[in-house]
């Protein structure tokens, strides 16, 4: 296990990622868009390629050797995900296309089965659209009320305000672990306790936390935890829904078709056991294999050291980027990780991103699929630089030089 956080981001770690061999507009790639998608290490790319080269097959339903091998790889990936999240059982891991599908699955099953007119669903003002829209749909369909925990000027949630909004009509609370737009780290264990005190289920959107923090779903006390593979150094189109077994067993299926059934007749259908009940159709076996390789890659590192490396980079960026004239940070929560969101006076965020791209620097601009939050913080859009374990202070220095170029052009 690699434990020295100073080793992270060095040439030996960056060499694991073929993307950094590329040149963008004649410049060495500086990749600071990790909150959107991380780069993939070679071991992940090779794991997917090896599975495909060795002869891929469908899982579970075949008796031939390739099917047995594919099934072993797929179910092995489930066990890897179980260990990564410290779930009690492998059957609590459902493979989905990503965090978005996972949240929709819970809203359409647990939500529609248990939420009715006069009930309430609680979210926070920090949420990604994926953790807003499905709950809006649920409330519109059932006559329930969607309530929102307000955000402070610094981009924080106050637990006492959340506690004042949860009541005996609250059926479900959904909250991000880490804000994708401004990096706020929520006290999700305390939030789980508040939700459970009123009998509400608690879902955590962990898409931005799982790449950066050691996640223990049992210690967090959540009922559901969702993540996306492509933000965890894995492939796109694959993700994980963790759900407590007793809840998953009671929930209705999400989609109908093959694999999620035990027996089918024209008169009635009986469903498979969890997790297969939620995995209709041919799964993304290659994606699961790649995601397992990504989890294995991440656990090569001391997760505490990796988090310390990224926080140290964020502190360095606070100092260096904050010294650039005209830069104003957006979202200054006391507990943050991995994300630096800012505006440049007199320059639209999209122009900032375009000029930086010309220098080989990749950031994200806009409202980051968190439009209510960005509007609450009083800006139309931000520039967002987000770090990962392969980033270095050199990347931050390049960003600072790029922002100086932005200032030259517009001032």
Q: How far apart are CA 355 and CA 226, in angstroms?
A: 35
CATH number at residue 215: 3.40.640.10
Q: How far apart are the first and last CA of the chain?
A: 48
Task: Examine the residue annotation and report whether 222 is marked as an active-site residue of this protein.
Answer: no
Q: Are residues 325 and 292 in the same domain?
A: no
Domain boundary among 298, 318, 350: 298
Report DSSP state, residue 273: P
Domain presence at residue 38: no
Where in the sequence is the domain holding 64, given as residue range(s)?
A: 46-298
> Which member of 139, 222, 232, 369 is catalytic?
369
Same domain, 81 and 130: yes
Q: pLDDT in tens for each of the 411 residues of the chain?
A: 555 555 566 667 899 999 999 999 999 999 999 999 999 999 999 999 999 999 899 999 889 999 999 999 999 999 999 999 999 999 999 999 999 999 999 999 999 999 999 999 999 999 999 999 999 999 999 999 999 999 999 999 999 999 999 999 999 999 999 999 999 999 999 999 999 999 999 999 999 999 999 999 999 999 999 999 999 999 999 999 999 999 999 999 999 999 999 999 999 999 999 999 999 999 999 999 999 999 999 999 999 999 999 999 999 999 999 999 999 999 999 999 999 999 999 999 999 999 999 999 999 999 999 999 999 999 999 999 999 999 999 999 999 999 999 999 987
Alpha-carbon span 37 to 18, nearest angstrom: 15
Query: How many domains in the chain?
Result: 2
Could you tell me if 180 and 325 lie in one domain? no
Identify the domain boundary among 253, 268, 298: 298
- Is residue 88 in some structural domain? yes
| 192: exposed, middle or buried (Cβ count in 10 Å: 0-12, 13-18, 19+) | buried
pLDDT digits (tens, 9 = 90+) for 317-348: 999 999 999 999 999 999 999 999 999 999 99
> What are 160-188's pLDDT values in tens digits?
999 999 999 999 999 999 999 999 999 99
Alpha helices in 54-98 (DSSP H): 65-85
Q: Print the SS3 string covering 181-240.
A: CCCEECCHHHHHHHHHHCCCEEEEECCCCCCCCCCCHHHHCCCEEEEEHHHCCCCCCCEE
């Amino acid at each position: 296990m690699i434990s020295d956080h100073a080793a992270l981001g060095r040439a030996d770690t960056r060499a694991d990622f073929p993307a950094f061999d590329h040149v963008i507009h004649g410049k060495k790639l500086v990749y600071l868009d990790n909150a959107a998608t991380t780069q993939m290490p070679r071991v992940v790319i090779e794991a997917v390629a090896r599975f495909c080269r060795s002869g891929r097959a469908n899982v579970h339903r075949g008796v031939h050797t390739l099917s047995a091998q594919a099934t072993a790889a797929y179910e092995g990936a489930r066990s890897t995900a179980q260990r990564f999240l410290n779930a009690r059982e492998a059957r609590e891991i459902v493979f989905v296309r990503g965090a978005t599908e996972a949240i929709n699955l819970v809203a359409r099953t647990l939500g529609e089965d248990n939420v009715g007119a006069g009930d309430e669903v609680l979210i926070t003002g920090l949420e990604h659209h994926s953790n807003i829209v499905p709950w809006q749909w649920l409330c519109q369909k059932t006559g329930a009320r969607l309530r929102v925990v307000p955000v402070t000027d610094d981009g924080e949630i106050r637990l006492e305000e959340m506690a004042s909004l949860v009541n005996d009509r609250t059926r479900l609370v959904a909250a991000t672990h880490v804000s994708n737009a401004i990096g706020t780290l929520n006290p999700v264990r305390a939030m789980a306790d508040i939700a459970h005190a009123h009998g509400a289920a608690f879902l955590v959107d962990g898409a931005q936390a799982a790449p950066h923090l050691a996640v223990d779903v049992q210690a967090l006390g959540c009922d559901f935890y969702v993540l996306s593979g492509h933000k965890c150094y894995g492939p796109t189109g694959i993700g994980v829904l963790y759900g407590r077994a007793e809840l998953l067993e009671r929930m209705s299926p999400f989609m109908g078709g093959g694999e999620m059934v035990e027996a089918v007749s024209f008169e009635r259908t009986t469903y498979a056991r969890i997790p297969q009940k939620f995995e209709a159709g041919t799964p993304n076996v290659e994606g699961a294999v790649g995601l397992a390789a990504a989890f294995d890659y991440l656990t090569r590192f001391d997760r505490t050291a990796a988090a310390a490396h990224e926080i140290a980079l964020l502190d360095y960026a606070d100092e260096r980027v904050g010294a650039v004239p005209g830069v104003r940070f957006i979202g200054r929560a006391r507990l943050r990780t991995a994300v630096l969101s800012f505006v440049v006076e007199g320059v639209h965020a999209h122009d900032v991103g375009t000029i930086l791209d010309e220098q080989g620097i990749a950031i994200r601009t806009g409202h980051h699929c968190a439009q209510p939050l960005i509007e609450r913080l009083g800006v139309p859009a931000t520039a967002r630089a987000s770090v990962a374990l392969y980033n270095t202070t050199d990347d931050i220095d390049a960003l600072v030089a790029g922002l100086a170029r932005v200032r030259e052009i517009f001032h």
